[in-house]
């Protein structure tokens, strides 16, 4: 369905699974996430659980996915930041609308992960484990969204991801901090404010 549109616009037609779309850092990030999940089969300690939440809910579902949504909306929507390639902008409203709905749904999953990590910290898990795990994974997120060969400037994406991760660490390791209500987690209308979750 996409291929004829790509052809009509003179884009190269590629498979979504083409290895060029999966930088080393992306592969490493998901290998580590898989290991963090596998570990739970044998180690159900609060620390192992916290590390698994950090990998999956906070980095993959939250920071990486949300940075991806932000990049898509910024590039292909008239309401996004101006990140598109030079020349006449291409607006893909249907794609952006679909991604917006996914993003809204994912907000609940992210909220769940944040709540669980915050609970584990309040029950005694050392916040340093959370900070270290997220800190170790950040370069992999940056390496995934950074693309020096792209005509799109990816610096803004790296900044977005870094800020998101910083806010996660702040909220989760402060057991008195209030998590955003679910209405805010799923709210997507009115722009993509980096200050929201």
Q: How many residues bind Fe ion (CB under 5 A)?
A: 3
Q: Are 157 and 67 in contact (CB under 8 A)?
A: yes
Closest approach of Fe ion to the CB of residue 139, in Å:
23
What does the DSSP assignment read for the chain? -HHHHHHHTTPPP--TT-GGGS-HHHHHHHHHHHHHHHHTTT---HHHHHHHHIIIIIIIIIIIHHHHHHHHHHHHSTTS-S-SPSSS----HHHHHHHHHHHHHHHHHHHHHHHHHHHHHHTT--HHHHHHHHHHHHHHHHHHH--TTSSS--HHHHHHHHHHHHHHHHHHH-TTSPPPPHHHHH---S---TT--
CA distance linking residue 63 with residue 117, whole number of Å: 15
- Of the candidate spans 75-83, 108-116, 134-142, 156-164, the one that interacts with Fe ion by CB under 5 A turns out to be 108-116
Shorter beta-carbon distance to Fe ion: residue 51 or 61: 61
Q: Are 113 and 62 in contact (CB under 8 A)?
A: yes
Shorter beta-carbon distance to Fe ion: residue 83 or 117: 117
> Among all residues, whose Cβ is closest to Fe ion?
109
Tell me if 109 contacts Fe ion by CB under 5 A. Answer: yes
The pair of structure tokens assigned to 127 is 């916040």
Q: Name which of residues 36 to 95 contact Fe ion (CB under 5 A).
A: 61
Shorter beta-carbon distance to Fe ion: residue 83 or 114: 114
Chain CA centroid to CA 140, Å = 12
Shorter beta-carbon distance to Fe ion: residue 39 or 109: 109
Tell me if 187 contacts Fe ion by CB under 5 A. Answer: no
- Of the candidate spans 1-9, 106-114, 131-139, 155-163, the one that interacts with Fe ion by CB under 5 A turns out to be 106-114
Q: Tell me the per-residue interface mask from 125 to 164 with Fe ion, x by CB under 5 A, - otherwise.
A: ----------------------------------------
- Of the candidate spans 87-95, 100-108, 133-141, 175-183, the one that interacts with Fe ion by CB under 5 A turns out to be 100-108
Shorter beta-carbon distance to Fe ion: residue 60 or 156: 60
- Of the candidate spans 7-15, 75-83, 104-112, 181-189, the one that interacts with Fe ion by CB under 5 A turns out to be 104-112
- Residue numbers at the binding site for Fe ion (CB under 5 A): 61, 106, 109
């Amino acid at each position: 369905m996409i291929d004829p549109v790509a052809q009509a616009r003179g884009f190269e037609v590629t498979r979504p699974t083409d290895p060029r779309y999966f930088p080393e850092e992306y592969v490493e990030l998901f290998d580590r996430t898989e290991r963090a999940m596998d570990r739970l089969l044998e180690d159900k300690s609060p620390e192992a659980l916290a590390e698994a939440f950090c990998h999956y809910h906070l980095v993959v579902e939250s920071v990486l996915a949300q940075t991806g949504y932000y990049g898509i909306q910024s590039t292909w929507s008239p309401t996004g930041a101006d990140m598109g390639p030079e020349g006449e902008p291409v607006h893909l409203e249907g794609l952006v609308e679909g991604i917006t709905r996914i993003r809204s749904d994912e907000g609940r999953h992210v909220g769940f992960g944040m709540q669980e990590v915050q609970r584990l910290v309040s029950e005694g898990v050392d916040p340093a484990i959370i900070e270290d795990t997220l800190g170790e994974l950040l370069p992999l997120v940056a390496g995934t969204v950074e693309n020096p060969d792209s005509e799109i400037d990816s610096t803004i994406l790296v900044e977005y991801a870094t800020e998101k991760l910083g806010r996660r660490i702040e909220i989760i390791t402060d057991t008195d901090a209030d998590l955003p209500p679910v209405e805010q987690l799923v709210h997507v209308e009115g722009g993509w404010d980096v200050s929201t979750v």
